[in-house]
């Protein structure tokens, strides 16, 4: 849908993000982390209630329980351009990983580009290390409202312990309005 939709209005981004957040809230409440949230793992279904479509999170093949110990090889099994710094750099699994990925999806809905642009996946580790070290900031889409930018700042908080949860984000003014 992102590739084929000419441009999303901000209200569409808000509605679609809300649907994904509700799915994440449910997944996290059941004690799981999706670990590979990206546009191709979100299916679009026609709706009968006036909304143009409904979104559903799919492909739980890499899902884990928060804090689950994973082998060294896990760090690069998911899609690097949607992974959080703590998961890509040190392999840390937690619900904050999915929130970072959601932020990446929102950026892609707004800009039609992945958050890291045309960088190759093998270069993303270097970018993430810079983020973790505090040497770089996530670039937010200029066209997004201030509420939208604040929402993304909550998704892209470098410290995963401070990153907002799905439940918290559902009450953020960008989504709740």
The listed range with the strongest mean pLDDT (49-63, 102-116, 118-132, 153-167) is: 153-167
Question: What pLDDT is stored for residue 48 in this prediction?
Answer: 73
Mean pLDDT lowest among 124-128, 132-136, 141-145, 159-163 = 132-136
Long-range contacts for 7-16 (Cβ within 8 Å, ≥24 apart)?
A: 7/112, 8/109, 8/110, 10/110, 10/144, 10/145, 10/148, 12/109, 13/106, 13/109, 13/110, 13/148, 14/148, 14/174, 14/175, 14/177, 15/51, 16/55, 16/109
Single out the catalytic residue among 12, 36, 59, 137: 36
Question: What pLDDT is stored for residue 69 in this prediction?
Answer: 56
Predicted confidence (pLDDT) at residue 52 exceeds the cutoff of 80:
no
Does 29 fall in a domain? yes
As to burial, measured by CB atoms within 10 angstroms (0-12 exposed, 13-18 middle, 19+ buried), residue 109 is buried
CATH number at residue 26: 1.10.510.10
As to burial, measured by CB atoms within 10 angstroms (0-12 exposed, 13-18 middle, 19+ buried), residue 129 is middle
Does 43 fall in a domain? yes
Count of structural domains, the chain: 1
Does 174 fall in a domain? no
Does 89 fall in a domain? yes
Predicted confidence (pLDDT) at residue 44 exceeds the cutoff of 60:
yes
Q: Is 36 a catalytic residue?
A: yes
Does 176 fall in a domain? no
H, E, C per residue of 102-148: HHHHHHHHHHCCCCCCCCCHHHHHHHHHHHHCCCCCCCCCCCCCHHH
Predicted confidence (pLDDT) at residue 68 exceeds the cutoff of 70:
no
Does 160 fall in a domain? yes
Print the domain residue range for 51.
10-168
User: Which one is predicted more confidently, 171 or 125?
Assistant: 171
Question: What pLDDT is stored for residue 124 in this prediction?
Answer: 58
Does 4 fall in a domain? no
pLDDT-derived band at 86 (thresholds 50, 70, 90) equals confident
Does 173 fall in a domain? no
Question: What pLDDT is stored for residue 137 in this prediction?
Answer: 56
Predicted confidence (pLDDT) at residue 38 exceeds the cutoff of 70:
yes
Question: What pLDDT is stored for residue 75 in this prediction?
Answer: 46
């Amino acid at each position: 849908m992102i590739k084929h939709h000419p441009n999303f209005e901000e209200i569409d981004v808000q509605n679609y993000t809300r649907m994904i957040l509700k799915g994440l809230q449910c997944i996290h409440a059941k004690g799981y982390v999706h670990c590979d949230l990206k546009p191709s793992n979100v299916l679009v279904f026609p709706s009968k209630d006036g909304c143009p479509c409904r979104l559903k999170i799919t492909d739980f093949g890499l899902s884990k329980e928060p804090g689950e110990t994973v082998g060294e090889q896990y760090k690069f099994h998911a899609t690097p351009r949607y992974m959080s710094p703590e998961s890509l750099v040190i392999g840390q699994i937690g619900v904050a990983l999915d929130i970072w990925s959601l932020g990446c999806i929102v950026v892609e809905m707004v800009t039609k580009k992945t958050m890291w642009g045309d960088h190759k996946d093998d270069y993303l580790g270097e970018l993430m290390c810079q983020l973790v070290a505090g040497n770089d900031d996530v670039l937010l889409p200029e066209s997004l409202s201030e509420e939208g930018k604040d929402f993304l700042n909550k998704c892209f908080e470098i410290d995963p312990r401070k990153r907002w949860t799905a439940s918290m984000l559902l009450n953020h003014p960008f989504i709740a309005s």
